[in-house]
């Protein structure tokens, strides 16, 4: 996430900061402005922005458990912020484990919504769209006798289910290993599953099938059979030449969701790099030089993004290896994948 600034004292602050370490003011994120503001308390639960004494805001109801630092207008009848009002089933807050999971899940969810708001992508909740609105269930595993049945992550008509236990690093790593995946994060789940929702809203509901099928293939292929074939037989030979991940090769819907998730990965990380002024120019290897001298959220093409992303991700991976850590971005961006990313870029811009 990019750097922010305390608007009272100028101290650099981060997306999830609750308090300025320099001036001591409480901080809150205003979704409509996509910015963090220093606050002063009023009577009751209300606050006002230090720079705007006439403003009146309050924290999202999830701030009570330190889950969320987003703000809502004081007169808003909805107790939850723009992101949290999409939640239906949340982790068990009667236990410390449940609260810890909820905090990690909430952090990832707000990162997702930052991108949705930056692009002004459709995200109706179930009050605005009772049939296909975006809603999240964070599901607990079921205990059946001596066995634990893991909850399943998935999407169906705007309802996104995410296994709450994957907020635990050990559980998530076990799932990653068992599925032979190179990468698995909470934020990745949010971005991938929301990609299915975005496909519904921007492709299916707008009848834009021809352009989609030209790039990704025919989504009318039986989805259940395609997934079963993938699990039974694995990806096709040389899948890396055409797909961002092995799972993307299972079906055009999964291919789009994976590309949507990776597009958000790349854009958001490049914005972070730009915010910190990061550039790479390895001595003797000028073809690997790169600087993010453009706004990734307003990229002119996927090629513009990739030309900066590849050298930066190579450098980040090298740093990770120097620390004994796995690569942060263990993926190959082939020309067909770049074309798919450019389709996602165009779809977002047209929206």
Q: Cα–Cα distance between 349 and 275 in angstroms, integer? A: 22
Pairing of strands 35-41, 26-30: antiparallel
- As given in the structure block, the two tokens for residue 111 are 């990162």
> pLDDT at position 145, please?
85
Q: Which of 6, 34, 46 is nearest to 116 (CA)?
A: 34
> pLDDT at position 210, please?
97
> φ and ψ at 205, to 5 degrees?
-70, -20
Q: Which of 277, 350, 266 is nearest to 308 (CA)?
A: 266
> 83, 110 in Cβ contact below 8 A?
yes
pTM to 2 decimal places: 0.96
pLDDT in tens, the chain (351 residues): 899 999 999 999 999 999 999 999 999 999 999 999 999 999 889 999 999 999 999 999 999 999 999 999 999 999 999 999 999 999 999 999 999 999 999 999 999 999 999 999 999 999 999 999 999 999 999 988 888 899 999 999 999 999 999 999 999 999 999 988 999 999 999 999 999 999 999 999 999 999 999 999 999 999 999 999 999 999 999 999 999 999 999 999 999 999 999 999 999 999 999 999 999 999 888 888 999 999 999 999 999 999 999 999 999 999 999 999 999 999 999 999 999 999 999 999 998
CA angle 261, 198, 249 (to 5 degrees): 50
> pLDDT at position 1, please?
83
> pLDDT at position 146, please?
84
Pairing of strands 159-163, 135-139: parallel
Helix (H), strand (E) counts: the chain: 8, 15
Ramachandran region, residue 16 (left: φ > 0; alpha: ψ -120 to 50; beta: rest): alpha
> pLDDT at position 117, please?
98
Q: Cα–Cα distance between 51 and 56 in angstroms, integer? A: 12
Residues 116-120: contacts with CB under 8 Å, at least 24 apart: 116/194, 117/31, 117/34, 117/82, 118/34, 118/297, 119/297, 119/348, 119/351, 120/351
């Amino acid at each position: 996430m990019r750097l922010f600034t305390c608007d009272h004292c100028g101290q650099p602050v981060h997306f999830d900061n609750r308090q300025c370490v320099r001036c001591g003011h409480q901080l809150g994120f205003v979704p409509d402005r996509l910015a963090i503001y220093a606050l002063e308390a009023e009577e009751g639960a209300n606050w006002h922005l230090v720079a705007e004494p006439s403003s009146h805001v309050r924290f999202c109801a999830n701030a009570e458990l330190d889950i969320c630092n987003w703000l809502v207008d004081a007169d808003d009848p909805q107790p939850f912020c723009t992101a949290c009002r999409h939640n239906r089933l949340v982790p068990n807050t009667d236990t410390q484990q449940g609260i810890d999971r909820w905090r990690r899940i909430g952090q990832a969810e707000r990162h997702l919504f930052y991108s949705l708001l930056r692009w002004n992508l459709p995200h109706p909740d179930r009050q605005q769209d009772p049939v296909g609105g975006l809603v999240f269930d964070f599901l607990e595993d079921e205990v059946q006798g001596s066995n634990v049945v893991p909850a399943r992550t998935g999407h169906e008509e705007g309802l996104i289910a995410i296994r709450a236990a994957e907020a635990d690093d050990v559980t998530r790593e076990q799932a990653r290993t068992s599925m032979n995946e190179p990468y698995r994060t909470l934020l990745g789940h949010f971005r991938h599953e929301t990609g299915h929702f975005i496909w519904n809203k921007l492709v299916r509901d707008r009848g834009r099938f021809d352009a989609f099928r030209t790039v990704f293939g025919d989504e009318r292929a039986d989805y259940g059979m395609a997934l079963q074939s993938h699990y039974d037989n694995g990806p096709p030979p040389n899948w890396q030449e055409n797909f961002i991940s092995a799972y993307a090769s299972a079906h055009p819907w999964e291919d789009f969701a994976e590309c949507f998730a990776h597009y958000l990965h790349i854009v958001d990380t490049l914005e972070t790099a730009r915010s910190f002024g990061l550039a790479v120019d390895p001595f003797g290897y000028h073809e690997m030089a790169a600087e993010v001298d453009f706004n990734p959220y307003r990229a002119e093409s996927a090629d513009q993004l990739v030309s900066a992303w590849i050298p930066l991700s190579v450098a980040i991976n090298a740093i990770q290896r120097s620390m004994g850590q796995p690569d942060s971005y263990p993926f190959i961006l082939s020309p067909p994948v770049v074309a798919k990313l450019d389709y996602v870029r165009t779809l977002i811009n047209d929206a």
